[in-house]
Amino acid sequence: MSGKAGSGKGTVSKLLAEKLDYKYISIGNMKRELATTMGLTISEFNALWELPENRESFDLKYEEYQKNLDVNDGLILDSRLGFYCQPKAFKVYLDVSDEEAARRIFGDKERTGDAYNSLQAVQDATEKRNQDDIHRYKELYNIDLSNKANFNLVVDTDGKIPQQVAEEIISVFTQFQK
């Protein structure tokens, strides 16, 4: 499961894991937990991640972890880099408008590591994060995170509740398994 920040990756991934009785692994949650233990917000952590001297070691740590997962173990991997690390997996990209992503993130009181004082601040930070990730992965791996051809299914989540998105994914996934 990949996609833009605020697209619903975590929420939909958890629903899918529950419905399919799969294990849920979130690279974003792992990063948030690490940021918290370091006393950083996720924005501060991402800024640290972006420093040239940290990019390779940070990304390579998470890349290696993901590559060592067994795609046949029944798991949902919530990760922007998952499609690259698990090329034989069923790969889903969740898309969302920048405005909707900002509304979701700003309204998510359970989201840890983010502290924004306005909807516009969330939108600005989210747009920057998406662009930074695209640039970093292009530089490190020569891949384009925004290239939807890397995925078996692309779902626009604007105007959809997570249950609708999960059902759409399950429907296509069922056909993929055949």
User: Domains in the chain, please, with CATH?
Assistant: 2-177 (3.40.50.300)
For the whole model, what pTM was predicted?
0.83
Question: Can you give the pLDDT at residue 128?
Answer: 86
Q: Which of 7-16, 29-38, 107-116, 117-126 is modeled with the greatest confidence?
A: 7-16
Cα 164 from Cα 157, distance rounded (Å) = 9
Q: What is the DSSP string of 137-168?
A: HHHHHS--TT-GGG-SEEEE-TT--HHHHHHH
Tokens 């979130």 belong to 26
103: number of Cβ within 10 Å: 16
Q: What is the mean predicted confidence (pLDDT) over 12-35?
A: 91
Confidence class for position 109, pLDDT limits 50, 70, 90: low
Checking DSSP bridges between strand 92-95 and strand 153-156, what pairing results, if any? parallel
For the ranges 56-65, 80-89, 130-139, 140-149, the lowest mean pLDDT is seen at 56-65
pLDDT tens across 111-143, in order?
A: 545 567 788 888 888 888 888 888 878 888 899
Confidence class for position 79, pLDDT limits 50, 70, 90: very high
Question: Can you give the pLDDT at residue 23?
Answer: 95
